[in-house]
Amino acid sequence: MSTNRISSVPRVNGIRVTLKAGAVVFGGSALFLLALPEIFVELLALDSASASLVWSMRMIGVTLIALAGNMWFNAINPDNQAVMRVGSVMAIAAAGLGVLTLLVPAVLTWFTVLYALVGFSFSLSYIVFLATSRR
């Protein structure tokens, strides 16, 4: 049975759309972390925006640029099987982002909960499209 079945293409395209949306969200987060890490730290209700924490936020921003670029370029990959593999990795990573966001060593704020929900939403989207594309 081919991994590029015609019947699974719309569902694999759902993974592609999710990857592109994630690339935009993570790209936006990256720019936010690079330009205004102190505000991000404040929104997470972390104790202080020390120089080392600000540096760490900017490092995460650079990493998110790489992730966003990889997500975008994998979304346009013509190989459905490869897109599904990337979707599987991203389902786990997005769920992990949600969990780690909720484990922030601070009081949960509206921003923290929203950021976690974004991660869980992306994870759920990948899982739904992966499950239905394998039928």
Condensed to tens digits (0 to 9), the pLDDT of residues 49-85 reads 799 999 999 999 999 999 999 999 999 999 999 999 9
The answer to the question of residue 111 being in a domain is yes
Which residues lie below 8 Å from residue 17, measured CB to CB, with a gap of 6+?
75
Beta carbons of 38 and 49 less than 8 angstroms apart: yes
Beta carbons of 95 and 31 less than 8 angstroms apart: no
The answer to the question of residue 2 being in a domain is no
Q: Which whole number is the average pLDDT over 88-113?
A: 96
What's the pTM?
Answer: 0.88
Helices (H), the chain: 9-35, 37-43, 51-75, 80-102, 110-133
Domain that holds residue 14: 9-133
The answer to the question of residue 56 being in a domain is yes
The encoded tokens of residue 57 equal: 């936020």
The answer to the question of residue 59 being in a domain is yes
Please tell me the total count of domains within the chain.
1
Which one-letter DSSP state was computed for residue 6? T
The answer to the question of residue 4 being in a domain is no
The answer to the question of residue 76 being in a domain is yes
